[in-house]
Each structure stands twice: as C-alpha cells, then as structure tokens.
Amino acid sequence: MTNHIAKQIHLISRPSGMPSHEHFKLVEVELPAPDAGEVLVKNHYMSVDPYMRGRMRENAVYAEAYALNSVMYGGAVGEVIESADPSLQAGDIVLNGAAWQDKFVAKANTLSKLEPFDPDQLSLYLGTLGMPGLTAYVGLFKFGEPKPGETVFVSAASGAVGANVCQIAKLKGCRVIGSVGSDAKAKWLLDECGVDAVINYKTCGDLTQALADAAPDGVDVYFENVGGDHLQAALNVMNPYGRIAACGMIASYNNAEPAPGPNNLMLIVGKKIRINGFIVSDHGDMRDQFLSEMVPWIQEGKIKSRETVFEGIDNAIDAFLGLFSGENFGKMVVKLD
Amino acid sequence: MTNHIAKQIHLISRPSGMPSHEHFKLVEVELPAPDAGEVLVKNHYMSVDPYMRGRMRENAVYAEAYALNSVMYGGAVGEVIESADPSLQAGDIVLNGAAWQDKFVAKANTLSKLEPFDPDQLSLYLGTLGMPGLTAYVGLFKFGEPKPGETVFVSAASGAVGANVCQIAKLKGCRVIGSVGSDAKAKWLLDECGVDAVINYKTCGDLTQALADAAPDGVDVYFENVGGDHLQAALNVMNPYGRIAACGMIASYNNAEPAPGPNNLMLIVGKKIRINGFIVSDHGDMRDQFLSEMVPWIQEGKIKSRETVFEGIDNAIDAFLGLFSGENFGKMVVKLD
C-alpha cells in the first residue's frame, strides 16, 4: 500500500471585494493510509457554489467560516480507492463534503454511499440531484408554496438552483418567469425548459417594468437568488400575500462595502408579504421525497440540466470566480479526473 | 326632528412629502335625518394613525386610498343620537369607521355596539382595546411567536401599537427592549411598563451597537414599526431563526422620493429569518381572544395606556401631523365633544 499525494486548494487570505487567485494556494500533501474505520477517496467531481463566498469571510453567518491556510470544503462526488471500514468497498461512489481536493482520507461514516441512477451522470449529484436541486425543491414547496396557476418569478433562473425552481414550478402547474444575464440562457429556459417568459436583466431596461410586462397577473412567489434590484422589482410587482423564498443574494456577495437595499420595503407590510430566509442543510428530512420525485423527472426528460464543467483542480478557482461573472451556464462543476 | 350640521375633514390634494394643512379642508355639511335602517351618531373620539398617511397616496396598497374632496375615514367611538333601526338605541356607544367628522348618518349594520368596561375610558377602544392593541396582539402571537425567555425588540415602543407589544410580551415572559425618540418615553416604558431596556434612538449613537448592548443574547423577535435604520440594526443583532412581524415602517411614510433600504438584507438568508408583513384587518377572528385577555389585564393594572388627546376636530390635522414628529406619547386621539 503506497501513500497518495493529494492536491488541495487552501484559502490563504480573506478577500474583501471580489476574490482572486492571490487569496488561494494549491498545496500538495501526502495522505496517510486509512486507519480502521476510514477510507481513501478519489474525487471525480467537486462543486463550486456561490454560498462558498460567505465562508471566506471571518464573520460568516450562513455556514461555518473556512479556516485560513487549510483546505476549503464543499460538495464532491468520489470513488472509494481503499477502505478500512466494512461499510464501504473500493469502487463505491460516495457523496462527500470534502471538495477542493482530489483525494482525501476520512471516516467512512462521514460519507454517503450513492447508488447512481446513471454512472455517467455522477455530477448530477452535485446539481439537480444534489444540494442545489434540494434547495430549489425545499425553497419552492416549503416557503414559496405556489398554487397551480400562480406566477413564480425566479432570479438567476438558469443557475444550478434557479433552473430547477423554474422546471419544478412548471411541473406543478405554475406560470414561470425567469431572470438571466444572457440571451443564450434565456433561449435555453424558453426552448428547453418550457419557462413562460424570461427577462435578460442586463438588456431589459427598467427591471420593474420588464417584470410587470412579463407578469400581467402579478407575481405570487419570488424565488430570491440575487437581491438588490431584483428584490426591489419583485416587491413592486408582487401580489398581496406573495411569498419570497430567500435562498441567496449573490448581487451582494463580493461587496467590500455594504450596498443599500431596495427602496420599497414598505411594500412588505402593504402587500402582507412573507419572506423566509432558509438554508438547505436544515431540511435534509425532505431529501427522500425530493429524490423520489426528481429522479423519475430526469429519467423522463421532464427536468433538464445544464452544466459548465472546468477540468482539473488547477482550474477550480477559475470555476469559482466564474460564478460571479455569470460565466457558468447552469451548474458549475470541476472534473477532477 | 331637526337636521344636524356635521364638521368633516376632507382631503383636497395628495401630499408628496410631509403633509400640511394645505392638503386638508374643514367642511360643514348638513346631515339628512336617518332613513330606515340608519342611525345618526355623534363621535366622542376619533383616531389618527400613521397608516392613514398611506391612504392619502393615489396608489395606496395597504388600505384603500382616500378619495379627494371627500371626508376621510378611520376609527372613532361615538354615541347614537337618533336611531331608525331596532338594533340600536339613542345612547348606545358604537365603534365605527367614520372618523374625521363629528357626526354622521350610517347604516346601523356598519357599526359595532360596544359594552364599554368603563364609560370614562371610551378612547381605549381606539387604542389598547382597539385596532392598535389588536395589531400588537396579532403581530406578536401570530407572526412574532416569542417563546418565554426570548428577547423581543420593539421600535416606536411607546406608541399606540408598540407599548402594547412591549407589555404583552412582558406578560408572556419575554425580555423586552424598546426603541423610542425621547427620554420621557423611555422612562415611562422602564418605570411604568416594566420594559427591560430602552434605547433612545436619537441620542444612542450607533443603533446596532446600542441594540447589541441592550440585547446580550441577541434578538429573537423584532416588532417592526419604523423601518430603515431600525430594520438594519435588528437584522444585525437578530439570532438565527429570528422572526420579524412587519407592522409598519413609519420612517418612510413621508418620503417624497423612496429612500434606500438596509444594507444587510443578506442576513435574512444567512440567519434564516422570517418576515411577515401583516394588516390587522385580516385578523378580526382574533378579536374575541384578544379582548378576553386584554380587558382583565387593563382592569388589573397589568397593561398601562398612555394617550395624547387633542381637543376638537379643528385640531385633528395637527394631531395627525404630530404622529410624524413624535409629539404624541402613546395613542394619539382627538376628543370631539
């Protein structure tokens, strides 16, 4: 049994505004052989997600802050290479929280063994069948609570979470309006995903007007991924008793200084709106129900997934940074081997 | 039977920023004798409330806009003078929605007959036992949902709604922190109402720091009457899974141009906060429960009420304007005879 060399990405300083390569470092470490109860895993895919930006702050509130000069973490799908635990065998596919490295040793009971419905689509377990997909499902049903025939507005609508919100809401009989930052994304949502109307927020002019035009009956549910102008427009166009599922506000993640919020928050009172901030990790109890609906939808072609795949851990930082420039189309993943 | 002359306040133009006397006009009208099913009422007290400012806008969303060149309306307590309906007799005390006039004729079935627990405290039915009191009760229990031992933060804490929120939350075993704009109001809340800590937002310096100092265990429930800086501070100091009952945002009511909102709305996501805008008129089903708790609390001296009373309908506009300069201490009412 030879020891393995793992490549890891460490956070070496905390970015104030937009992160760049200087804040990160590629480090090679020699892994020990797995002790009893442990396994050695080779990651096939790792996830980069906008929420990771918050973990780079010292005062992270959403999820624990990354420590400096140590490997970051996040979702990944890997394969067991060596096992010193009876619950897992070499060749088993495992969902794990040990991203930002291509190999690692961990206790077997910290990993979730997958029975992939298609071994060629492992990366789906980081997107449509993973945390972003469950986020869409939880946010929509637990907090948005759309009724058939209601109008659902989704920002970052072609993203890893948003595209699932759009398509699930369509399957549940809603009228769906998405906001995206490119015409290619708009076209995909309209042509492939059956979304009813899409706004390109970069070219539409006044966002409130564009949303009002796209939603002649008003907005009943807003799935919030962006914040700022999008929240302001959504409040302007929402119907009384509208619900906002607040999943993220990516517009603010890289602000070095806090930016002012929407100027129309009084509409929360006036329209009797409910807003729920949420984090998917509180709602693991919905995972079985989620997978029982989502896997068949994928197999039947009712839910489409787009991915942007970067190759190799050397490109993981670029993949992460691409989340904030809108370079990704759908779920951004890094293929590690 | 002689006809009566009523004095009414009409809205004659829509204010853009702070309203002033030029937007209103005192008009005398001759009232017809009540037809069958109608009664003639003399109002003893009328209410002025911050929400009325919204009704002066053409695009009111919270409650129907006041029509121009016609009498405004709102809560009042009056006495039946003449009745042409068997359900009411002269001398009956009625809660009505026909404020901004000293006498009026209306259908008997639009009025609520009161059995006042104390005929000398009729104005309480416009405050602690009326719409503001019910607003406090509904917002706190239906949306704030404080548990005993939790910390409740109340803005405009000595106001008609806020003072009731503070005292009800104390009776339910919470730690209560209020924000007010004068030391006299702070003293009353501390000495008479048993509030645990009070911030004078005009003199405290940084509001977030003042709130953090007053709430060493964080804030679990924020009862929002003010908006702006108060909402920002509350979000900063709130605990995970905090609840915001959004009753009003008086800081913005007289803005001619919309002002930017808090710069930290991402905390709604990060702290998994729930915000509910609400209007008391949706929750009339809680009135019986409310009165069954509130009347004994008042009789036992457990709930204190402060009022600022202006005399005469000629002074109703000044009473209303006083709501926005903080001149009122507790519930602002106008005594009409």
- Please report the DSSP string for A159-195 in residue order: STTHHHHHHHHHHTT-EEEEEESSHHHHHHHHHTS--
Chosen from B53, B265, B280 to mutate, greatest number of chain A CBs within 10 A:
B265
Residue with tokens 């209303």: B320
Instruction: Tell if the CB–CB gap between A263 and B264 is shorter than 8 Å.
Output: no
Residue A326 near chain B (CB below 8 Å):
no
- CA–CA gap between residue B203 and residue B225 (Å, rounded): 19
Q: What does the block give as tokens for B186?
A: 């702070």
* A-B contacts at Cβ under 8 angstroms: 108
- What residue in A sits closest to B269 (Cα-Cα)? A277
Which pLDDT belongs to residue A1? 53
Supply the ipTM of this predicted assembly.
Answer: 0.92
Q: How confident is the model at residue B1 (pLDDT cuts 50, 70, 90)?
A: low
- pLDDT tens-digit map of B130-157: 999 999 999 999 999 999 999 999 999 9
Check residue B155 and report its DSSP letter: S
CA distance B149 to B152: 9
**Per-residue model confidence as pLDDT tens digits over A213-248:** 999 999 999 999 999 999 999 999 999 999 999 999
Domains of chain B: 4-127+306-335 (3.90.180.10), 131-281 (3.40.50.720)
Distance from CA of B251 to the nearest CA of A (A): 10
- Tell me the C-alpha distance between B167 and B190, whole Å: 11
Residue B78 has pLDDT above 80, yes or no: yes
B277–A272 CB contact, under 8 Å: yes
Mean pLDDT of chain A: 95
Out of A99-108, A133-142, A238-247, B59-68, which region has the weakest mean confidence (pLDDT)? B59-68
Q: Give the B window 197-236 contacts with A, CB below 8 Å.
A: 224, 227, 231
Q: What is the pLDDT of residues A262-287, one digit of tens each?
A: 999 999 999 999 999 999 999 999 99
Count Cβ atoms below 10 Å from residue B301 Cβ, excluding itself. 7
Residue type, B7: K
